[in-house]
């Protein structure tokens, strides 16, 4: 199985995802880099990054309730 990251903004809305990483460290590094890019661009509706989460498993993301 592969690792993926999920970035959520301060309103807890998924802002970006990435998939296909071989390790959790690679997924986290890519997620943090993307989060910095999103924050610098000012394109986040919530104004900032709330979380960068890494998980292993299915490439299909299921919304959290």
pTM: 0.77
Residue 17 tokens read as 């995802």
Report the pLDDT value the prediction gives residue 22, as an integer from 0 to 100: 93
Q: pLDDT class for 12, splitting at 50, 70, 90? A: confident
Beta partners for residue 8, in sequence order: 14, 51
What sections of the chain are H helices per DSSP? 24-41
pLDDT in tens, 28-57: 999 999 988 988 888 776 667 788 999 997
Query: Considering the chain, what percentage of its residues have pLDDT values greater than 70?
Result: 83
């Amino acid at each position: 199985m592969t690792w993926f990251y999920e970035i959520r903004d301060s309103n807890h809305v998924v802002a970006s995802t990435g998939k296909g990483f071989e390790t959790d460290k690679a997924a986290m590094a890519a997620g943090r880099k993307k989060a910095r890019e999103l924050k610098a661009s000012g394109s986040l509706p919530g104004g900032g990054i709330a979380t960068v989460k890494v998980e292993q498993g299915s490439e299909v993301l299921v919304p959290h309730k």
